[in-house]
Amino acid sequence: MTRPFEPIQIEPAYRKVAAALIERITGGAFTDGDRLPSETALAKQFGVNRSTVREALRELQTAGLLTRTRGSKLMRVTRPQTDYIAENVSRALVLHDVTFMDVWESMSMFEPAIAEAAARRRTPSDLELMREVVANFELHRKDTGRCVHLVAEFFGVIASATHNPVLVMAQQPLLQLLEPSLGAMIDKVAQARSRIVTAHRRVTDAIAARSADDARAWMVKHVRDFRRGYEVAGIDLQLKITV
């Protein structure tokens, strides 16, 4: 007996309109800041009702591809912000039962390579931002929430110093998932804060000296220290992360 055919999926009209608009936007026909035609004009071009166009535009606005200027009825094309993209990816990862170990293992692969690239490409302004984050961590080291956020910010600043937007956007979801796990550990390990300060200084100094090998080596030590911290704190790395 032959295998039966799968049912044909019939997409709603608004999804087809949304797909056509996305194709134009990603293809460069519309660029950041460009205004789309009015709902009426789009409905006429697509041969659909205005309500169908409105639903398609709402979907693209939710996805961060469109925005509406206050006081205007017209939509403008916009680039989704890194935080917005990261939040959606982080949520998807949590729904896939990501564990502390998954996040730590991923960071142990990404962060040393990112630090190495930053050492080669950083600018004076990048270096200034790194030093500012390090100083802020030392200043607010008794504030657990602030410290955890500043650790994530330090990683983010280093990724920005690579001047590679793919690396920045790939890293952000991991940083959002790092914060809960780091927050669960940092108050339970007496030396955690001092070791983080030392690692941040060493990584920054290596990047300042444009020493890619030292930047990688210190980042390897820094991320490895997180795992030791989890173990000392008695945190099961197989626990699923919740945000």
Whether the per-residue pLDDT at 243 is higher than 70: the answer is no
All CATH 1.20.120.530 domain ranges in the chain, comma separated: 82-232
Which is more confidently placed, 63 or 88? 63
On the 0-12 / 13-18 / 19+ scale of CB atoms within 10 A, 195 is: middle
Where in the chain do CATH 1.10.10.10 domains reside? Answer: 13-77
Encode pLDDT of 129-142 as tens digits.
Answer: 999 999 999 888 88
Q: CATH assignment of 13-77?
A: 1.10.10.10
Say if residue 93's pLDDT is above 60. yes
pLDDT confidence bin for 213, thresholds 50/70/90: very high
Q: How far is CA 140 from CA 154, 176, 219, in A?
A: 14, 20, 22
pLDDT band at 74 (very low <50, low <70, confident <90, very high): confident
Residues forming beta bridges with residue 77, ordered by sequence position = 66
Report the range of poorest mean pLDDT among 93-102, 130-139, 205-214.
93-102
108: pLDDT strictly greater than 90: yes
pLDDT tens, residue by residue, 165-208: 999 988 888 888 888 778 878 888 888 999 999 999 999 999 99
The pTM of this model reads: 0.74
Q: What is the average per-residue pLDDT within 69-78?
A: 82
The 3-state secondary structure of the chain, one letter per residue: CCCCCCCCCCCCHHHHHHHHHHHHHHCCCCCCCCECCCHHHHHHHHCCCHHHHHHHHHHHHHCCCEEECCCCCCEEECCCCHHHHHHHHHHHHHHCCCEHHHHHHHHHHHHHHHHHHHHHHCCHHHHHHHHHHHHHHHHCCCCHHHHHHHHHHHHHHHHHCCCCHHHHHHHHHHHHHHHHHHHHHCCCCCCHHHHHHHHHHHHHHHHHCCCHHHHHHHHHHHHHHHHHHHHHCCCCCCCECCC
Superfamily for domain range 82-232: GntR ligand-binding domain-like (1.20.120.530)
Q: Is the dihedral of CA 101, 105, 111, 114 positive or negative?
A: negative
Residue 241 near residue 94, CB atoms below 8 Å: yes
Residue 2 pLDDT: 73
